[in-house]
Amino acid sequence: MNNKIYIVVILFLSLGFFACDDELDNAQPFTEGNPNTFFNSPAAFQNGVDGIYRQLWLYYSSPNSGLQGIPDIVSDNVIQAQTGRKSNDNYYDLRYVASTLGPIPLYWSEAYEAVNVANLVIGQIDNLNDGPEKNNILGQALAARAWAHFDLARIFGKIPTQSGDANGSLGAVYLKVEDGDTGDPFAQPARETVGANYAEIIGDLERASTLIGDDNGEGRLNKNGVNALLSRVYLYNGEYQKVIDAANAVSGTLATAAELPDVYIDKTNAGVVIELSINTTSESNGNNVGVLYSQSSSSGTISEYVLDFDFFNSIDANDVRKDILQFVGTNQGNDYNAIKKFLGEEGQVNGLVDVKVLRYAEVLLNKAEAQFELGQGAQALTTLDQLRNERFTSFTGGETGAALEDAIQFNRRVELACEGHRFFDLKRRGESITRNATAGDIIDGTGTAPEAPTLTAGDFRFQFPIPTAEINANPTMAGQQNPGY
């Protein structure tokens, strides 16, 4: 953050942006400009908004720190392969500290860069004439600002449903300007409470939902995306009826069993509601979302992390997702339950695929969980079965009570595995991370077991530390480090 909210020289926007073929092909790269004069047309404003998406993409897809993978690495879906490079070792072993390189400083800096760009767009929005184009630009900027703040709040602060004291604890700094406001470039804001964060996130998203267009092209937010994101944020905030309402407002379709494998090699966007996309320029910069799990070499695929033995073997043989998740990877004479998701486009092992930020399957799972929490068991089962009918060749079903809750959560785990959800799902539900202390990394469960098999619910490490550089740069942040660091 470091007070970069209202910089005049803009070095990012759409340079090297993440479009695929015809995606965002109206965005024109540039290297610098004064926002007071540059933001003077709908096209220029959209160019600015595209810069927000680029900043989001940078921390979701970083090859060593991507938010698409770290939440699985620090939880219980995967285990470190001992024949890999031992990348993100501190995070896997739950030894991260405020000065640790990798995800912690990246998430903070890139998310706030996204916020900075959003605030520049919002601050200049009155340069546009009133009408649908202005509304759509403003809606995208508001929604993206909320998205970045939501990531900051859930990474560095507690989640409202996590514990009884969560809403009163420290969350993120919410950097916000109003329409046409240039703000104070010398402000040194402090962290707000988690409750205040979520109120502002939801306020931005709800307003965005009334402004944003229905179709802005691939790689950009639209009305469906905002409503889908609201279904997630409401779930984290424990507003269950609003989860259902937001989910019902999403006119999405579920990827079929036949379509789902092609989603992860970018042959189809079936069921994808929000994605961050790549292009040739970004590929050459090495932002390869899949390399958190696997590295390619002349001899094949070298796994960094593989599927946890217990988790993989708990997936039913009739579940089509089992083959979508796993392939047998061999390295140094060992076979592994290697991760197939995000391995690369068809025939590739370079990790160069789009980030699937939010899929319609998650919207259904959000809705099913909310229905269960409201005591609507029959409705929750119906919603869950809408997903299971496309994921199983056959299943028994018919669960009630605790068995239904377990089925919803297990299907959530399987459906969203290796997509950046597991850590946050355990955290928001106030549950522990429990890894098998004896099963190893090799395909038959032998090999090396985790050094840190458990993270007890309530442990301070469920909140990442505020980066040391930020504490040192902003006097207002002094004394606001998360407990335990």
What is the domain-level CATH number for residue 40?
Answer: 1.25.40.390
Domain count, the chain: 1
pLDDT of residue 2: 45
pLDDT in tens, 11-25: 333 333 322 332 322
pLDDT at residue 56, as a whole number: 95
> 293 lies in a domain?
no
pLDDT at residue 9 tops 60: no
Question: Is the confidence at residue 283, as pLDDT, over 90?
Answer: no
Q: Is residue 30 scored above 70 in pLDDT?
A: no
Question: Do the domain assignments include residue 313?
Answer: no
Please give the residue range of the domain that contains residue 434: 35-73+80-269+356-477
Please report, rounded to a whole number, the percentage of residues in the chain having pLDDT higher than 70: 90
Q: Is residue 18 part of a domain?
A: no
d(C-alpha 132, C-alpha 146), whole Å: 21
Between CA 243 and CA 237 the distance in angstroms is: 10
Task: Give the per-residue pLDDT at 14.
Answer: 33
Given a cut of 70, whether residue 214 has pLDDT beyond it is yes
Q: Over the chain, what is the mean pLDDT?
A: 90
Scan for tokens 């940078």, then name that residue.
Answer: 58
Mean pLDDT of all residues in 125-153 = 97
Answer whether residue 374 shows pLDDT above 60. Answer: yes
Residue 34, both tokens: 């004064």
Q: Has residue 348 been placed in a domain? A: no
Residue 57: inside a domain: yes
Q: For residues 45-50, give the mean pLDDT.
A: 95
**pLDDT tens digits, residue range 446-481?**
999 999 999 999 999 999 999 999 999 889 998 999
Residue 102 forms part of a structural domain: yes
Q: How many CB atoms lie within 10 A of CB 98?
A: 17
Cα(410)–Cα(311) distance, rounded to whole angstroms?
10
The Cα 44–Cα 40 span in angstroms is 6
Instruction: Tell me if residue 294 falls in helix, strand or coil.
Output: strand
Residue 147's pLDDT is 98
What is the C-alpha separation between 27 and 216, in angstroms, rounded?
12
Tell me if 64 sits within 8 A of 86, measured CB to CB: no
pLDDT at 185: 67
Is residue 122 assigned to a domain? Answer: yes
**pLDDT score at 296:** 73
Confidence of residue 234 (pLDDT cuts 50, 70, 90): very high
pTM, entire model? 0.92
Q: What distance in Å separates the CA atoms of residue 336 and residue 424, rounded to the nearest whole number?
A: 26
40's tokens:
């003077």
Report yes or no: 364 and 254 within 8 Å, Cβ to Cβ.
Answer: yes
Q: Measure the CA–CA gap between 104 and 65, rounded to whole angstroms.
A: 8
Say yes or no to pLDDT of 124 above 70.
yes
Q: How far is CA 174 from CA 146, 199, 206, 253, in A?
A: 9, 11, 16, 33
pLDDT at residue 160 in the model? 98
pLDDT confidence of 286, banded at 50, 70, 90?
low
Q: Does a structural domain hold residue 140?
A: yes
3-state secondary structure 219-257: CCCCHHHHHHHHHHHHHHHCCHHHHHHHHHCCCCCCCCC
